[in-house]
Amino acid sequence: MTDSANQQQARVIDGHETAEELGDTHPGTPEGRRVVELLWAPPQQPPVRGPRPRISLADIVAAGVAIADADGLAALSMRKVASRLGVGPMSLYTYVPGRSELVELMIDHVYGEHAIPDPELPWQQRIEQWARETWRIYDAHPWLLDYNMARLPIGPHVLDVSEALYAALFSAGFVAAENVAISNLIQWQLLGAARSMISDADEARHTGVSAEAYWDSRASFWDTYFNWSRYPTMAAIWEAGGFDDPAGWDFDRMLNRLLTGIEQLAAVSQES
């Protein structure tokens, strides 16, 4: 092996090779390799002579999270982040390639707030704690619900959270594809419920129109256009008070039923 090859291998082994040094001979795109590098090996500001840099990558990520928390993900822009930090917009590109990469860093940052269940606990408790923590993160940062969660960044905190759920399900006896399927069931249920409940509460805060006010404004529909014979099941549930039961929107009831179903699946899996 030549000296240059030895040097190349040493950089790879030590984990110090940059996205630019990797070139097109490695998997992924230059942009993809760059964001992976920022997630796993963010640049450290070396001690230098003269004035210290005014901002850091951590400052940029924190500013982005603050803007999204206050005004939603759609309001996030590099210009707004720069304004919040008191710097010119172009200075941000020294640290992060663009908005989409910044959002990935922001997501991994807030996932760092997600407490990881104690692996010594029974698997049922671990899943329950995991679900409650995930709901708390959604509630604290509703802008997450506007992101395509099928493309979560492969950052260390995101993977820590995923590993915790996979591990709990593995302890329940779910392996391979079955583990992934049950994990998806839990995550999709939480995500769908959060988009209905947390997003609605967030919209009410921003618009000043509550869910009750929204439906009250359209109350004329029921006496004018609702067809009882066309929607007999809906009508029967309505007459029985089903749509008036606040527990139908209760997180604890939803989680309890979800866990009960998973326990039943685990029992069947162990018998087979």
**Could you tell me the pLDDT band of residue 199, with boundaries at 50, 70 and 90?**
confident
Q: Of 96, 47, 102, which is closest to residue 73 (Cα–Cα)?
A: 102
Q: What angle do CA 25, 26, 27 make, to 5 degrees?
A: 130
Residue 138 one-letter amino acid: Y
Cα separation, 152 vs 62, whole angstroms: 18
Cα separation, 114 vs 139, whole angstroms: 12
Q: What is the mean pLDDT of residues 203-210?
A: 88
Task: Give the HSE-up count for residue 165: Cα atoms under 13 Å, Cβ half-sphere.
Answer: 23
- Supply the pTM of this predicted model: 0.84
Domains of the chain: 3-111 (1.10.10.60), 123-271 (1.10.357.10)
Residue 212 scores a pLDDT above 70: yes
Q: Exposed, middle or buried: residue 244 (CB in 10 Å: 0-12, 13-18, 19+)?
A: exposed
**Could you tell me the pLDDT band of residue 21, with boundaries at 50, 70 and 90?**
low
Cα separation, 268 vs 248, whole angstroms: 28
Q: What is the pLDDT of residues 77-126, one digit of tens each?
A: 999 999 999 999 999 999 999 999 999 999 999 999 999 999 999 999 99
**Could you tell me the pLDDT band of residue 202, with boundaries at 50, 70 and 90?**
confident
